Structure 1
């Protein structure tokens, strides 16, 4: 597999803690009948197969409780693979993909089911020309069965000699610090840290992976990347839809567990960590843990909670029949984090996430401090915006002279929109990138055990408050379906020093969807 080259140089290959799996590999997808597997895991595996990134002679085995024949299994696993109309080459690849994928049904908590799975895997491996065998177990499962499945895989399906075993675990990793520690301890009884790959798919997104290059390969950015230049930072996640009949699951976890504690905190750690000594996975993860340890638990006074209500013909959260009556589960949260280290002391990092908002967007907005007063007054602040999705982009708002005979400062932008600059380059899905990393044995974009522990410490006190474990539960403020969020949001972010852009100014990136 060739090393991917940048347009003007190369980035050193990540140093891995394991061997790259090139031959005689079976990928076992547990939970193969579920939504995650059919919408994310199998399309990602197909993308890797189509582009020649899976091991030679790979076989994919689906496993779940559901009884289904081969035709039904293939219908489910290829139903979300996008095939452009008239693209016979891709359609042919889909048919090839079906032939290397098969299905076994069985339970998650009984040993005999896993003995049966192991016999099936051995029947595939018996056709290998060499004795080498490798197995990658992908747990596309709810956390309630993580432990019995991990235990049964180790006891019944583990290759003791002559091969490599790896297990990929999906979030959520617990509900608070104690439950996370219990889950970590139980997994460690059966699987080593080196064998375990904990997925947070945001670490596989192109613009999140690009943060290392933007920060550490550009003096123009890195020289002002601290409290001396930056006033505040916002990391925002917005969804334009509500729970839509799936409120039962959401109500158990809430928006903070679903988005802030994992996805946005991962983005924050890469955005703020110190330069790693190398691209080795442990060097990168060491720096992430260091910066997370410098963040104290979130304060109630630094938190804004909201819940969407009916508006614009759309139902409110409590109108969802799967949501408990009178639930006070937040569907919107804004929390401000502080990093107590020499680089970031005093800079507020505002994490915001919500459902049923006015648009779909994930972005980082870094607002710089005001210029020195004197020759300029009431001038717009510089802002660096990194759009993670959709329509990946990096753009810098700066001030320039208005063309003509008058001297007046006008806000303008330097705009790197990927759809324009890299029009012919395919950006892989996050799951493609992460599954490939797991096959390579590269842990750099996966979550380490101590990183999980410190991440939960930051949010557990506020989560216990919301869950009513440390006093009366707070009642979230209402906001209309399809709005920007609670009306209290503007004064909330203003108290941390954020100044809105010049009235009437629109960022060009808002229109890139029309490209």
Structure 2
């Protein structure tokens, strides 16, 4: 059997998939791992490759606790989907090579074995960084310091610290990485550990590794507007091992009200002297176009655009990233992805719970600012944009900006607003409406539900409605993209056929499925609705998908900005929604009441029907891995 020694980490990874080099084929989707085999070997073992290319997160969390220092979500070429994802890398590749080895060695006796020298975590990181930066040479220190501004807050406790732990545990960060918490509260590393532990998903066998992670942590308290606090912070950073040349990453897990003070003090007192400095900014990026432009102008006066990482965690989700692969990696979708075949596109975000005591915070923003202007619009741009010239960060973001420029500001005539009220027959929080939240001002008109229709005025999409639908306290938890196709011309089945749909389920239970018509089994010749289904929970049963924050924070370490929001992209997003937001606030437009646990206001369904969406109500997708 050919063992793991036949898998090498290439020191010169090429970005192109399937490159032929002297009769060889480089088959890999991972930025750090290259597996080299002869093309004839691949063809003879695997036959014709699977025609639909999908990003396969092949490496799962390690139930066997074996650490090969390999990212657990490396991606490989589509023919690897023929191999059932197992629990560890050795099982997967040993299984493949046990099938192939005899044929390969008999037919290619002169083939040289590849180097089996394992790479350290730092070398793995270096290869990943090199891949993401188009193979440029780097002259940077391997020492990194990750500073969490707002370390005492919920975001740090529930997301940032757990994410850093997962990346550290899986060997995806440089070995010499230190983590520094900064906040106004008087905390210790032990108190941070106790607060974060319920969210870190630590296995019993990982306690020693967890202890190593927290040994790399420190904490400093200070005031965000106080320059002396940042002088002390800088002195603390310089006291860490390798700090003189260390790169610094600042995560602003803070309310927007302190962004200006914090970023100014970072610039004055806490920049890396010899390495690079990067700043991660959480949404909201302003309240409207004017405030967003003010924030962007302030940040650009302190940092260059390649130092600023505006994070929208939806861009790190598996199925949102899959949109580009589905569109541009499959020939079958190209001819039908346009106004000639698509009747409408529906982008949905639904939550089954209300504001849960956070109504005071939510009331300042509302559902349009909280979800529609960012998460849903980002998904729209990925669905509607033209094919980029490459997968480089700027090429992708250039196309997103182009399509956003084709969208006119939203009109109130194309919008339905709602606000949930208590359900008399419900239980617990379901009995309470939005205005029953004691943190919400009495008589507030802030919408908790919105449906808006947007149009992309270009050759591909002219006349196709893009329906954005989001809300709280609805009947289910769901985020998805749904393309509904036009009717079949020349229907011969007397109106029995429903429209085809392609659905990308973002959460929960990631899936891609196509609704289509098929003959009903039996003696009759009647069509019935069914689906072509790729449910990740069943197809990739043993694969643990990375959290969105894992992907995005790792991207910041590596300097990849593809999945972050650029300033011109942000400007266009606010241009589309600012007139609507100002009109709602100026005219105090009352939202339509809807019952907690319902689909939302019936008027929203009527709007969707009016612009061209057809809801048949004859079929509901069943998640097969729940059967």
TM > 0.5 between the two?
yes
Question: Where in structure 2 are the equivalents of 1:176-255 lying within 5 Å?
Answer: 176-255=288-367
* CA shift in 2, pair 1:306/1:18, >3 Å: farther
Give CA deviations for 1:121-149 in whole Å, capped at 9, x if unaligned. 0000xx32x95321111111111111110
Corresponding residue of 1:320: 437
SS in 2 for 1:79: helix
CA distance in 1, matches of 2:196, 2:383: 36
CA distance in 1, matches of 2:131, 2:348: 31
Q: What TM-score, normalized to structure 2? A: 0.78
CA distance in 1, matches of 2:221, 2:146: 15
1:406 aligns with 2:520: no
Corresponding residue of 2:539: 421
Larger Rg: 2
Retained in 2: the 8 A contact 1:44–1:431?
yes
* CA shift in 2, pair 1:455/1:21, >3 Å: farther
Corresponding residue of 1:151: 264
Retained in 1: the 8 A contact 2:32–2:131?
no
SS in 1 for 2:305: coil
* CA shift in 2, pair 1:71/1:230, >3 Å: same
Deviation at 1:497, TM superposition (A): 1.0
Retained in 1: the 8 A contact 2:132–2:559?
no
CA distance in 2, matches of 1:215, 1:477: 37
Corresponding residue of 1:332: 449
CA distance in 2, matches of 1:70, 1:112: 22
Corresponding residue of 1:28: 147
Q: 1:2 aligns with which of 22, 32, 54?
A: 32
**92-101 or 299-308: bigger deviation:** 92-101
SS in 2 for 1:362: strand
Retained in 1: the 8 A contact 2:479–2:506?
yes
Q: Which has the higher contact order (CA 8 A, sep 6+)?
A: 1
Deviation at 1:156, TM superposition (A): 0.4
Q: 1:373 aligns with which of 469, 477, 490?
A: 490
Cα RMSD, aligned residues only: 1.9
Please identify runs of 4+ aligned residues in structure 1 that moved more than 3 A. 9-22
Q: Provide structure 2 residue ranges, at least 5 long, that are not aligned to the other structure.
A: 1-30, 34-73, 81-127
Question: Where in structure 2 are the equivalents of 1:391-402 lying within 5 Å?
Answer: 391-402=509-520
Deviation at 1:222, TM superposition (A): 1.9
SS in 1 for 2:451: strand
Deviation at 1:73, TM superposition (A): 2.2
* CA shift in 2, pair 1:334/1:41, >3 Å: same
**451-460 or 49-58: bigger deviation:** 49-58
Question: Where in structure 2 are the equivalents of 1:53-202 lying within 5 Å?
Answer: 53-83=172-202, 87-124=203-240, 127-128=241-242, 132-160=245-273, 162-202=274-314
Retained in 2: the 8 A contact 1:380–1:502?
no
Retained in 2: the 8 A contact 1:398–1:412?
yes
Question: Where in structure 2 are the equivalents of 1:248-327 lying within 5 Å?
Answer: 248-311=360-423, 312-313=426-427, 314-327=431-444
* CA shift in 2, pair 1:21/1:103, >3 Å: farther
Retained in 1: the 8 A contact 2:481–2:505?
yes
Corresponding residue of 2:561: 443
Deviation at 1:276, TM superposition (A): 0.4
Retained in 1: the 8 A contact 2:133–2:559?
no
Corresponding residue of 1:353: 470
Deviation at 1:489, TM superposition (A): 2.1
Corresponding residue of 1:484: 599
CA distance in 2, matches of 1:80, 1:33: 14
SS in 2 for 1:439: helix
Retained in 2: the 8 A contact 1:240–1:358?
yes
Retained in 2: the 8 A contact 1:234–1:350?
yes
Q: What TM-score, normalized to structure 1? A: 0.94
Retained in 1: the 8 A contact 2:141–2:275?
no
Deviation at 1:13, TM superposition (A): 4.8
Deviation at 1:411, TM superposition (A): 0.6
Q: 1:473 aligns with which of 576, 588, 598?
A: 588
* CA shift in 2, pair 1:21/1:298, >3 Å: farther
SS in 2 for 1:349: strand
Deviation at 1:93, TM superposition (A): 2.2
Give CA deviations for 1:54-100 in whole Å, capped at 9, x if unaligned. 111211000000012332122123331113xxx32223322221111
Deviation at 1:498, TM superposition (A): 1.1
* CA shift in 2, pair 1:80/1:91, >3 Å: same
Retained in 1: the 8 A contact 2:141–2:245?
no
Deviation at 1:19, TM superposition (A): 5.6
Corresponding residue of 2:620: 506
Deviation at 1:9, TM superposition (A): 6.8
